């Protein structure tokens, strides 16, 4: 069984998709802890409502990364919870060496584009602005760069005439909610293979 630690800053719909897949018996995994850098994040409420351990870690003075002490606290929480795989689900900060070193090739992220196209913030908006006819989502290993780690799997989504950033993001999120549990099923320890 996969022992997961989930990090998120937002509403937590990808976390919910993963937790639902576990609850339905479609994914042999257990969420050991959910951690957020945002005290009011929906992801923490969702986790608590499911009886899961949910922790807010005060991020400190930086906007794009955790203060080193905060990141060490995250590492400690993950390790004490027995986490083997760190799953980023709408986590809005860069991952730095202490966390990367504690979980080498064991941190994955979902990004709302077909990487390497449109890394960074609001990738769906970038795709619209570029006039792309297709975009999608990517699950990838996390490295020290921004959305640069090795790609594990992708799912394409069409850009439709009349799309707004909101309609496109919503379509991408539907694909994300299927892709993330599918990818987790293929990881070593999940007991099931094949996408």
**Applying CB under 6 A, which residues contact ligand GRF?**
8, 10-14, 89-90, 110-112, 173, 176
**Closest distance of CB 160 from ligand GRF, Å:** 18
**Closest distance of CB 126 from ligand GRF, Å:** 13
Phi-psi region of 111 (alpha: psi -120 to 50; beta: other; left: phi over 0): beta
Q: Which of 111, 140, 169, 177 is catalytic?
A: 111
**Closest distance of CB 108 from ligand GRF, Å:** 11
Which residues are paired to 85 by β-bridges?
Answer: 4
- Which C-beta is closer to ligand GRF: that of 34 or that of 110? 110
Task: Name the closest residue to ligand GRF (Cβ).
Answer: 90
Query: Is the CB of residue 181 less than 8 Å from the CB of residue 27?
Result: yes
Q: Where are the beta strands (DSSP E) in 40-188?
A: 54-56, 85-88, 107-111, 134-141, 151-158
Query: Which residue is listed with tokens 């504690």?
Result: 102
- Which C-beta is closer to ligand GRF: that of 102 or that of 110? 110
**Closest distance of CB 112 from ligand GRF, Å:** 4
DSSP state of 94: B
d(CA 68, CA 119): 24
CA 40 to chain CA centroid, Å, is 18
Query: Is the CB of residue 142 less than 8 Å from the CB of residue 100?
Result: yes
- Which C-beta is closer to ligand GRF: that of 12 or that of 181? 12
- Which C-beta is closer to ligand GRF: that of 10 or that of 165? 10
- Which C-beta is closer to ligand GRF: that of 70 or that of 173? 173
Query: Is the CB of residue 9 less than 8 Å from the CB of residue 37?
Result: yes
**Closest distance of CB 116 from ligand GRF, Å:** 15
Joined tokens for residue 95? 């991952």
Q: Is 111 a catalytic residue?
A: yes
Residue numbers annotated as active site: 111
């Amino acid at each position: 069984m996969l022992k997961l630690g989930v990090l998120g800053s937002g509403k937590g719909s990808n976390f919910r998709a993963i937790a639902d897949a576990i609850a339905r018996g479609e994914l042999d995994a257990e969420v050991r802890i959910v951690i957020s850098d945002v005290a009011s994040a929906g992801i923490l409420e969702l986790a608590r409502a499911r009886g899961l351990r949910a922790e807010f870690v005060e991020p400190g003075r930086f906007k794009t990364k955790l203060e080193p002490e905060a990141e060490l606290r995250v590492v400690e929480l993950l390790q004490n919870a027995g986490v083997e795989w760190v799953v980023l689900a709408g986590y809005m900060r860069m991952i730095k060496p202490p966390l990367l070193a504690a979980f080498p090739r064991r941190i994955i992220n979902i990004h709302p584009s077909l990487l390497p196209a449109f890394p960074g913030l609001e990738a769906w908006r970038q795709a619209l602005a570029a006039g792309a006819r297709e975009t999608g989502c990517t699950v990838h290993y996390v490295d020290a760069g921004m959305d640069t780690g090795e790609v594990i799997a992708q799912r394409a989504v069409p850009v439709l005439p009349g799309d707004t950033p909101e309609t496109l993001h919503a379509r991408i999120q539907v694909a994300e909610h299927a892709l993330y549990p599918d990818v987790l099923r293929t990881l070593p320890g999940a007991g099931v293979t094949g996408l």
